[in-house]
């Protein structure tokens, strides 16, 4: 592969189709929360220009192993996970040149994404007021760890720390004495998702008002935003939820059960399903301790024993077939390699092949949204690989100078 930056085609610079086609996003963020938001907007068709630190780039370019590629140009798979459909330009925002280029990008942008600690952009000369003076229609998406104000606003926000502080780890794990983090950086990912959805809402409101606005979220807010029934269990019922492993705290039987030589998951979420389940496995549907869902939850340990005794006659695959035939929601626990080999995953467009300038063709997890106009699918298909550091810098500067066409903005 050539070491020279590869200029992307016009279709790759924001003319790929999709609901946000023609919109320009300037991604000033690094690590995961902001980059995930920017990638989501790129998946919707926006042109996303990622501004990175010269020399080192986004922090995640160095997060590994695993690294892949030639020994003299190793690529972090972490970076590859959250930066598809973007271009990269390296700018020193403490230099006159870097600030001048960013100023021109902001004049043209529809959305800017940033996850600096509060006050950092102000010191660089790009406060909210300054950005809106440059571009009154600019939507500013700002993501922090613990919120932009309040007594702990200046704390650094890292995913696992926030998973603990926001209570998620206290309800995750085998028991209350062994709190566990979720197996992906869920606080980062959720704050990116909330941020992208807020940015799209602000773009929609701009159609009415003609003005951009600031959208703020945080890792803390994102985790609390998905407390769901565990939140109201605390705030309304006055109970403090605790980790209890792979069984649902409010529905039974619902969870992971042993069978002969394996495990399966089931969800018996209604009394009708309970009657069907007991009939299928010859269980006594009239036992008083299991008469209602509330009874089954109260007597969960005994219920687990009864269910696993019935399942002990079956290996996993025949058991799953029997459950499916009976209409009981059930499934296996797949490893990720099994997930990406699964035909259902492929049918939903959840695995992409893109051409990377160093790695060649690589497979990436795909975007979770699909779009249809009547029976015709209009989902964006022209995805591009995560960029090399400053791989699009010359082309972006040429576009800003007016020497080449490309891009649109507010």
Q: Are 366 and 350 in contact (CB under 8 A)?
A: yes
Domain boundaries defined on the chain: 10-226+342-401, 269-328
- CATH topology for 10-226+342-401 is Rossmann fold (3.40.50)
Mean pLDDT of 174-203: 97
The pLDDT of residue 115: 93
Type and span of the H or E element at 187: helix 186-209
Q: Is the pLDDT of residue 368 over 80?
A: yes
- Over residues 41-45, mean pLDDT: 96
Mean pLDDT of all residues belonging to the chain: 93
Among 4-8, 190-194, 198-202, 330-334, the least confident range = 4-8
Distance CA 175, CA 173 (A): 6
Please give the positions annotated as active site.
188
How many whole angstroms from its chain centre is CA 113? 15
Average pLDDT over residues 266-284: 95
Average pLDDT over residues 217-227: 97
Residue 14 has pLDDT above 60, yes or no: no
Range 364-369 average pLDDT: 95
For the stretch 315-353, pLDDT in tens is 999 999 999 999 999 999 999 999 999 999 999 999 999
Tell me what pLDDT residue 285 has.
81
Residue 262 has pLDDT above 50, yes or no: yes
Closest CA to 22 of 48, 4, 50, 40: 48
Question: What local confidence, expressed as pLDDT, does residue 119 receive?
Answer: 87
Going 35 to 90 to 117 to 160, the CA torsion angle's sign is: positive
What is the DSSP track for 123-168?
HTT--HHHHHHH-TT-EEEEEESS-SSSTTTTS---HHHHHHHTTG
User: pLDDT tens digits, residue range 102-160?
Assistant: 999 999 999 999 999 888 999 999 999 999 999 999 999 999 999 999 999 989 889 99
């Amino acid at each position: 592969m050539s070491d020279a930056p590869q200029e992307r085609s016009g279709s790759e610079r924001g003319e790929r189709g999709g609901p946000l086609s023609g919109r320009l996003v300037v991604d000033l963020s690094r690590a995961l929360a902001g980059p995930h938001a920017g990638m989501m907007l790129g998946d919707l068709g926006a042109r996303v220009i990622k501004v990175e630190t010269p020399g080192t780039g986004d922090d995640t370019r160095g997060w590994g192993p695993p690294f892949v590629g030639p020994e003299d140009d190793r690529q972090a798979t972490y970076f590859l996970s959250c930066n598809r459909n973007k271009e990269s330009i390296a700018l020193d925002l403490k230099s006159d040149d870097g600030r001048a280029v960013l100023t021109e990008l902001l004049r043209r942008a529809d959305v800017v994404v940033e996850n600096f600690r509060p006050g950092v952009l102000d010191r660089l000369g790009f406060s909210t007021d300054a950005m809106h003076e440059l571009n009154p229609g600019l939507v500013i998406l700002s993501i922090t760890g613990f919120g932009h104000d309040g007594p702990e606003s200046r704390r650094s926000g890292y995913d696992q720390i926030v998973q603990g502080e926001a209570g998620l780890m206290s309800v995750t794990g085998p028991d209350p004495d062994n709190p566990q983090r979720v197996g992906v950086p869920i606080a980062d990912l959720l704050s990116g998702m909330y941020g992208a959805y807020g940015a799209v809402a602000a773009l929609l409101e701009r159609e009415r008002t003609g003005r951009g606005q600031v959208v703020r979220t945080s890792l803390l807010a994102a985790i609390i935003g998905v407390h769901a029934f565990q939140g109201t269990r605390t705030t309304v019922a006055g109970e403090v939820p605790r980790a209890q492993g792979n069984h649902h705290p409010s529905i039974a039987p619902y969870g992971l059960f042993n069978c002969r030589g394996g495990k399966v998951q089931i969800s018996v979420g209604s009394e009708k399903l309970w009657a069907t389940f007991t009939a299928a496995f010859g269980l006594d549907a009239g036992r008083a301790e299991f008469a209602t869902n509330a009874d089954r939850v109260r007597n969960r340990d005994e219920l687990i024993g009864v269910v696993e005794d019935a399942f002990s006659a079956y290996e996993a695959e025949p058991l799953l077939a029997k459950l499916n035939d009976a209409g009981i929601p059930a499934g296996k626990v797949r490893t990720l390699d099994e997930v990406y080999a699964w035909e259902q995953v492929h049918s939903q467009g959840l695995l992409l092949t893109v051409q990377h300038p160093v790695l060649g063709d690589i497979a990436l997890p795909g975007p979770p949204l699909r779009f249809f106009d009547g029976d015709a699918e209009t989902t964006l298909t022209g995805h591009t690989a995560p960029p090399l550091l400053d791989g699009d810098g010359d082309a972006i500067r040429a576009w800003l100078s007016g020497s080449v066409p490309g891009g649109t903005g507010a």
